[in-house]
Amino acid sequence: MSLEEMFSSISEEKSLSNESWDPLSLRGSSEAPLWHEGVAIASAYALIIVVGLVGNVTLIRIFCAVKSMRNVPNLFLCSLALGDVLLLVTCAPVDASRFLADAWLFGRTGCKLIPFIQLTSVGVSVFTLTALAADRYKAIVKPMDIPTSHATAKICLKASAIWLLSVVLAIPEAIFSDLHTFHITQTNETLITCAPYPHTGDLHPKIHSMASFLIFYIIPLFIISVYYFFIAKSLIRSTINLPVEGKIPIRRQ
């Protein structure tokens, strides 16, 4: 369904509701509950933002302050926390504002920047979790293959590569996201919204959705599942080979 069809259906629903209900009665009975609902949802967003910022900033501060915490898994977790902070500071307030105002409040620059930051943060989270799975696989299944020299520098390079890859994959969001204006004739309203691919047909949004689904969900999920399958297999095999307490292996002559 295109954006025009979606908003035309919304306008039809509004016109039908206006025919069956008195607008004056709607202001007293409908707008106030909707406003209260928007405030409640925005308050929940605010709570999530505060809790998320406290947790992630605390993790980053501990990682930077305590030298013994600067190992490979914690470095990936610090990168993950940095991506979450970026998402909480930029995208979460924008999502909360949509429940308080019908119009887009952040202009054309915000329309291009916010989806770009959001997809960058998603990429950092997903690819960092994939890198963590690969690191756990090497530490458990092949511990002798882990390089000991310049390990921290190599992990920093990997984390930087993850951020660079996430930024590159999010560039189409910044290029194609734009403002789109709809005029609803039934209610004589003009609605400005931010949408990806607003000036193209139905093919580009479908390709975009499928590519994002594969790159940011299916492929990382498959890789993580394979890594943890071999980790579980190695752990089960090691527990089977452990000597049972009280039993001494007998050497045959």
CA 219, 223, 228, 229 torsion: positive or negative?
positive
Residue 43 to residue 76: CA distance in whole angstroms: 31
Please measure the distance between the N-terminal and C-terminal CA atoms of the chain and give it in whole angstroms.
Answer: 79
Query: Which of 96-105, 133-142, 147-156, 213-222 tops mean pLDDT?
Result: 213-222
CA 76, 78, 80, 82 torsion: positive or negative?
negative
Tell me the CATH number at 106: 1.20.1070.10
Residue 133 to residue 223: CA distance in whole angstroms: 8
pTM confidence score: 0.75
User: Does residue 39 fall inside a structural domain?
Assistant: yes
- Report whether 78 contacts 59 (CB < 8 A): yes
| Strand, helix or coil for residue 142 | coil
User: Does residue 166 fall inside a structural domain?
Assistant: yes
Q: How far are the Cα atoms of 71, 72, 87, 94, 122 from residue 150, in angstroms, in the given order?
A: 12, 11, 31, 41, 28
Number of domains the chain is built from: 1
User: Does residue 252 fall inside a structural domain?
Assistant: no
Q: How far are the Cα atoms of 52, 74, 80, 177, 194 from residue 77, in angstroms, in the given order?
A: 14, 5, 5, 30, 32
User: Does residue 154 fall inside a structural domain?
Assistant: yes
The string of pLDDT tens digits covering residues 175-197 is 888 887 777 777 777 777 787 77
Annotate 83-124 with DSSP letters as a single string.
HHHHHHHHHHHHHHHTTT-SS--SHHHHHHHHHHHHHHHHHH
User: Does residue 224 fall inside a structural domain?
Assistant: yes
User: Does residue 96 fall inside a structural domain?
Assistant: yes
Helix (H) or strand (E) segment spanning residue 148: none
Residue 186 to residue 178: CA distance in whole angstroms: 25
pLDDT for the residue numbered 25: 43
The string of pLDDT tens digits covering residues 50-76 is 999 999 999 999 988 988 887 878 888
In this predicted structure, the answer to whether residue 251 has a pLDDT above a threshold of 70 is no
Annotate 159-209 with DSSP letters as a single string.
HHHHHHHHHHHHHHHHHH-EEEEEEETTTTEEEEEEESSTTS-SHHHHHHH
Give residue 37's domain range: 3-21+29-234
